[in-house]
């Protein structure tokens, strides 16, 4: 039986592990980025370290099988990422040699090409108080309703806190994730052309912004 509960500090490593195991459209992060520890910091540290009260965990037989990270204020998220998380990651990347790996340079080239999406994200993050979420489910548990149960818990929590809407970004090729959000009443609002590292080249795709009104 799956149980959904609030995040605890001792769940931090499990969240990081699951995130990196499914980060590449349900596959391990190593397919697109070489440094798992660095990626876990980038993708999860805001939620586990700065807003842990908005994260919920799905557990089965005492094992963490999924998480949903919530952020109830994009402005707060943007400020924390730019002024607290990114500076630490720059130092960590230099110490670990992450930035000297060719795979990292491909991702940085893609990020430069993604300037419009990043600019739009920054504008919305700093000038609105919309929330967003990030979800991760281990592969063997994806048909067991863990995602739906966690989403119900997060949406209920966000509603209690007065949040008007919440968003999620999905790679257009992740059709399973697109169906998941659409089944839960999320509507596709924007499509952003993005570049992603693919071996020694860059590949185009679209990032779909799904939004759900809470009130």
Pick from 7-16, 117-126, 170-179, 197-206: least confident: 117-126
Name which residue leads in pLDDT, 62 or 194: 62
- The strand ranges marked E within 15-146 are 55-60, 63-71, 131-137
Cα–Cα nearest to 134, from 4, 47, 215: 47
Mean pLDDT, range 156-166, rounded to an integer: 95
Backbone angles phi, psi at 57, to 5 degrees: -120, 140
pLDDT of 195 reads: 64
Name which residue leads in pLDDT, 16 or 140: 16
pLDDT of 126 reads: 57
Q: What percentage of the chain has pLDDT greater than the value 70?
A: 86
2-163: CATH topology:
Aminopeptidase (3.40.630)
Q: pLDDT confidence of 194, banded at 50, 70, 90?
A: confident
Q: pLDDT confidence of 199, banded at 50, 70, 90?
A: low
Q: Which pair of tokens denotes residue 111?
A: 């990020």
For residue 160, pLDDT over 80 is answered with yes
| Cα radius of gyration (the chain) | 17
Q: pLDDT confidence of 142, banded at 50, 70, 90?
A: confident
Mean pLDDT, range 128-157, rounded to an integer: 91
Q: Are 26 and 1 in contact (CB under 8 A)?
A: no
This prediction has a pTM of 0.90
Name which residue leads in pLDDT, 148 or 106: 148
Q: Are 196 and 110 in contact (CB under 8 A)?
A: yes
Question: What distances in angstroms separate CA 60 from CA 20, 21, 69, 137, 146, one per listed residue?
Answer: 20, 18, 18, 12, 9
């Amino acid at each position: 039986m799956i149980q959904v509960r609030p995040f605890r500090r001792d769940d931090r490593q499990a969240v990081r592990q699951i995130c990196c195991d499914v980060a590449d459209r349900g596959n391990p992060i190593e397919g697109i980025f070489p440094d798992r520890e660095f990626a876990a910091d980038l993708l999860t540290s805001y939620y586990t370290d700065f807003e842990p009260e908005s994260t919920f965990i799905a557990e089965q037989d005492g094992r963490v099988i999924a998480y949903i990270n919530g952020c109830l204020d994009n402005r707060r998220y943007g400020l924390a990422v730019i002024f607290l998380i990114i500076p630490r990651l720059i130092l960590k990347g230099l110490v670990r040699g992450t930035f000297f790996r060719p795979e990292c340079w491909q991702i940085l080239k893609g990020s430069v090409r993604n300037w419009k999406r990043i600019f739009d994200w920054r504008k919305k993050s700093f000038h609105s108080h919309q929330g967003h979420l990030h979800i991760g489910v281990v592969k063997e548990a994806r048909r067991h309703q863990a995602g739906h149960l966690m989403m119900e818990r997060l949406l209920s929590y966000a509603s209690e806190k007065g949040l008007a809407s919440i968003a999620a970004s999905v790679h257009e090729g992740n059709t399973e994730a697109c169906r998941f959000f659409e089944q839960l009443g999320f509507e596709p609002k924007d499509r952003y052309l993005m570049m992603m590292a693919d071996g020694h080249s860059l590949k185009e795709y679209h990032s779909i912004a799904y939004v759900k009104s809470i009130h």
